[in-house]
Chains A and B, each alone.
Chain A
């Protein structure tokens, strides 16, 4: 016996079946709501800041800029996937 209050309306039920699934928003580690473009933007901002910092502090110590680029890419992948 189905409770009438809980049972969905027949028309709404069919409509829901045909509708595309609603994307579930997953909370990432970033403190704000972001889409993938925001996360790419954040990654680029961090990449530039890291590169400038590297030029100023670490490159004079003999560390290549490619290390900074590798860190930035790894960070970008992490931010875009988990952010």
Chain B
């Protein structure tokens, strides 16, 4: 009986595992394989040539790559932390009743259903000088001239704000689900014991929703680290290399330059950095501590 259940389990899992193997595991090992080669199929010599760890030697001295990593880390820090704070505040707001709550929640969730490329186009229209609504009102109300085509800080800030606008609803929805599932007893007991709101947040709410927070941060972190389409539509990585995030850098390396070997190396390193960051986050917040003898 037990064997039959196990066989049925494997049978039901087989399609997913097969798809995962052909579209996830196999391409991953292929990218790792290519990362140890020099390969430009449109060059004079289109063959894949094994060059050992030369791509990795080159990458640690590549200023364009190192710049793209630092810009991406900054972007991830600003975007994910802001989304978490705004998302939590909105989730707390949605836990209460207020007039127009249903319509506000619907409108607030709308950006989530938009494709990133559309978000990029819309923000491009809104921020283009002379036709965009944002530079127009910034100039009219505050006398600020905004041009994301020439100002690096403006371009970077616009991308961070665009990402916050696009992805905060996801954080809000996840945190609402976590907050709704919390039992009321610990909160009542804390209030009886005279705990203030800050103490309740740090000692009861946050530890209880920590798994949901970490899961949300994982999702947003991985998404933010591979942001390409929105940035590509809005700034194309510019001005200069101010918004050339790693995703955009890989795109530029692989497609216009057709440098597949080096592009694969960058992809492998970015994947490595993503795994390390997520693992460190997991260890710091969720991993069970070992008891010393």
- CB within 8 Å of B: which residues of A? 26-28, 30-34, 41, 45, 48-49, 51-52, 55-56, 59, 65
Quick one: closest B residue to A30, CB to CB?
A: B290
6 sampled A-B residue pairs with Cβ under 8 A? A32-B290, A33-B289, A45-B279, A48-B272, A49-B276, A55-B53
Quick one: closest B residue to A54, CB to CB?
A: B60
Complex interface: chain A residues within 8 A of B57 (CB)? 55, 59
Complex interface: chain B residues within 8 A of A52 (CB)? 56, 60, 269
17 more contacts with CB within 8 A, not counting A27-B292, A32-B290, are: A27-B291, A28-B290, A30-B290, A31-B290, A32-B287, A32-B288, A32-B289, A33-B288, A33-B289, A33-B290, A34-B290, A45-B279, A49-B276, A51-B53, A52-B60, A56-B60, A56-B61
Complex interface: chain B residues within 8 A of A33 (CB)? 287-290
Complex alpha-carbon distance, A45 and B280, angstroms: 11
Mask, B255-292, CB within 8 Å of A = 1, is: 00000000000000100100110010001000111111
In the assembled complex, the CB of B16 is this many whole angstroms from the nearest CB of chain A, namely 21
Quick one: closest A residue to B275, CB to CB?
A: A45
Complex interface: chain B residues within 8 A of A41 (CB)? 279
In the assembled complex, the CB of B50 is this many whole angstroms from the nearest CB of chain A, namely 16
Total interface residues on B, CB under 8 Å, equals 18
Q: Say yes or no: B276 contacts A45, CB within 8 Å.
A: yes
Asked whether any CB of chain A lies closer than 8 Å to the CB of B45, the reply is: no
Complex alpha-carbon distance, A65 and B60, angstroms: 14
In the assembled complex, the CB of A21 is this many whole angstroms from the nearest CB of chain B, namely 19
In the assembled complex, the CB of A54 is this many whole angstroms from the nearest CB of chain B, namely 9
In the assembled complex, the CB of B125 is this many whole angstroms from the nearest CB of chain A, namely 41
Nearest 3 pairs between A and B by C-beta? A56-B60, A32-B287, A33-B288
Complex alpha-carbon distance, A26 and B292, angstroms: 8
Complex alpha-carbon distance, A31 and B290, angstroms: 6
